[in-house]
């Protein structure tokens, strides 16, 4: 029994000794170390919350310390907010008596939501500092955010609290129709380059109206948002050649997250939807990225959709999904799409000249090009593909086969590839893929030769003279200038880009 009493007393002494040192702290002496001296919160639109950014604070000393205060210099009026090791403090602005153990660190997570009026009017920067302690022991870490002004377009809220709705393919979704005489924004059917636009929900173009995008316009779509061009309405995207890396005359459609980590994430927003009876569409010098379906073309009223000098990247389903459409395309580039870069279904009439249609999505089923003359559930299920012509094109990607024909014998299926570089792993005896012996459908096909694109991972599909696509085009199909406005030689190169030396 005496033995157990001794062990019990020894245990109490051990516990009390270890506990005492854990809670003994000394005041901070201004020797904290930080993972960075300035936290840059990437550009945000006014009144849209930023991503969360991290600052790590280190105690290099042998003593547990108590930091009397960690606070934002602007105090409770600051537009920044923080958590310190999971604590919220006083409204995320002020924290008192924060303990930091010896040889340990703590995490501070920072966010902001600010208006353009909060920023410096000369550079649109909103700034503050995180202050650690005060007086002689004061240490500071700067916070910097660029606030960008924008035109915000969104559904109105109904008296019952629900949002305004529009109909898309028989479904009711959050959306609204653009108004050419809006009391706040003026003509909402004209997108200029004066400010970027941010769209929430689906913006609809009313019947018999035309939406126009001027050169240099920037449009950002929130999650589950997009553009609907309704029956008898028209889309005019009027970009022009840019002369600098800022792409000052390019029109850009993308998501509304501006942080670099979102730059190439697919599926951030919905689609550009062209309704069945929409009319007279024209797109020139557009870059569209990070959508679910880039262009969803539901058929037109018999007018030809002119698609020129356009780039479509990083779509979670399709770059272009065209259903019984009438489309003429020049200098088109598509890459990285979950199902197909280009899918033309339920027939239609298509001509693609000097297109680079690639797909580097990492799966066993994705393709660059898919053609079909049927659609399950449609009435009738089969519809004539009266033309699908590819001239001086590159059809390539990371999969074994990047070209898929889905033919139904109950409707016409007319297609032809002329002077194209094509990736296709094995045709065997399938009569649809006899590239060398079927002149009705295939002429001058370069099969399974690497085009040696500049940087596929960065969606840069330029080629040089070492490419298998160099000078392999037919001059009869040549478009005089490439997607960058560079004059093509004769014979022309395949794809959207005229060859040039790669940057060093």
Q: Which CATH number fits domain 26-133+141-148: 2.60.290.11, 3.40.50.300, 1.10.357.10, 2.60.40.10?
A: 2.60.40.10
Residue-level pLDDT at 106: 96
Q: Across residues 320-337, what is the average pLDDT?
A: 98
pLDDT(252) > 80: yes
Identify the three-state secondary structure at position 204.
strand
- Give the contacts of 101 (CB within 8 A, at least 6 positions apart): 59, 64
Nearest to 396 by CA among 354, 334, 310: 334
pLDDT(454) > 70: yes
380, 408 contact by CB (below 8 A)? no
pTM for this predicted structure? 0.86
Residue-level pLDDT at 68: 96
Q: What is d(CA 265, CA 248) in angstroms, rounded to the nearest whole number?
A: 23
Q: What angle do CA 462, 466, 469 make, to 5 degrees?
A: 65
Average pLDDT score, the chain: 93
Sign (positive/negative) of CA torsion 5, 10, 13, 16?
negative
Q: What is d(CA 269, CA 254) in angstroms, rounded to the nearest whole number?
A: 8
Reported as a pLDDT band with limits 50, 70 and 90, residue 18 is: very low
pLDDT tens by residue, 141-194? 999 999 999 999 999 888 887 889 999 988 999 999 999 999 999 999 999 999
Residue-level pLDDT at 23: 54
Q: Across residues 461-487, what is the average pLDDT?
A: 98
431, 407 contact by CB (below 8 A)? no
């Amino acid at each position: 029994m005496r033995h157990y009493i001794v062990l019990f007393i020894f245990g109490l002494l051990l516990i009390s000794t270890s506990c005492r040192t854990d809670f003994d702290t000394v005041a901070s002496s201004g020797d904290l170390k930080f993972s960075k001296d300035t936290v840059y919160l990437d550009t945000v639109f006014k009144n849209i919350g930023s991503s969360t950014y991290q600052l790590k604070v280190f105690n290099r000393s042998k003593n547990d310390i108590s930091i009397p205060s960690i606070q934002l210099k602007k105090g409770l009026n600051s537009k920044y907010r923080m958590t310190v090791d999971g604590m919220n403090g006083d409204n995320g602005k002020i924290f008192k008596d924060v303990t930091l153990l010896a040889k340990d660190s703590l995490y501070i997570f920072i966010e902001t939501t600010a208006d353009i009026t909060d920023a410096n009017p000369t550079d649109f920067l909103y700034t503050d500092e995180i202050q650690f302690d005060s007086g002689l022991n004061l240490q500071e870490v700067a916070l910097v955010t660029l606030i960008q002004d924008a035109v915000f377009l969104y559904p109105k809220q109904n008296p019952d609290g629900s949002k305004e709705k529009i109909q898309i393919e028989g479904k009711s979704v959050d959306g609204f129709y653009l108004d050419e005489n809006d009391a706040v924004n003026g003509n909402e059917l004209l997108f200029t380059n004066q400010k970027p636009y941010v769209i929430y929900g689906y913006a609809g173009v009313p019947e018999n109206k035309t939406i126009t995008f001027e050169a240099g316009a920037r449009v950002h779509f929130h999650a589950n948002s997009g553009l609907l061009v309704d029956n008898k309405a028209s889309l005019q995207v009027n970009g022009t050649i840019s002369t600098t890396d800022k792409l000052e005359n390019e029109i850009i459609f993308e998501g509304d997250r501006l942080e670099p980590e979102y730059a190439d994430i697919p599926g951030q927003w919905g689609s550009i939807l062209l309704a069945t009876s929409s009319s007279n569409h024209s797109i020139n010098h557009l870059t569209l990225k990070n959508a679910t379906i880039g262009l969803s073309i539901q058929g037109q009223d018999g007018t030809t959709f002119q698609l020129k000098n356009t780039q479509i990247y990083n779509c979670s389903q399709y770059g272009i999904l065209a259903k019984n459409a009438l489309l003429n395309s020049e200098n088109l580039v598509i890459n990285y799409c979950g199902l197909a870069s280009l899918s033309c279904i339920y027939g239609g009439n298509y001509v693609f000249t000097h297109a680079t249609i690639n797909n580097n999505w990492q799966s066993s089923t994705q393709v660059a090009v898919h053609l079909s003359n049927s659609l399950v559930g449609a009435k009738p299920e089969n519809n004539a593909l009266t033309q699908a012509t590819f001239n001086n094109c590159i059809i390539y990607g990371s999969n074994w086969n990047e070209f898929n024909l889905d033919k139904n014998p109950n409707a016409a299926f007319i297609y032809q590839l002329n002077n194209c570089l094509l990736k296709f792993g094995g045709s065997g005896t399938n009569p649809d893929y006899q590239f060398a012996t079927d002149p009705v459908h295939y002429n001058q096909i370069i099969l399974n030769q690497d085009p040696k694109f500049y940087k596929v991972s960065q969606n840069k599909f330029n080629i040089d003279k070492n490419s298998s696509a160099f000078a392999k085009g037919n001059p009869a199909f040549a478009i005089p200038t490439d997607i960058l406005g560079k004059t093509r030689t004769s014979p022309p190169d395949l794809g959207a880009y005229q060859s040039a030396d790669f940057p060093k």
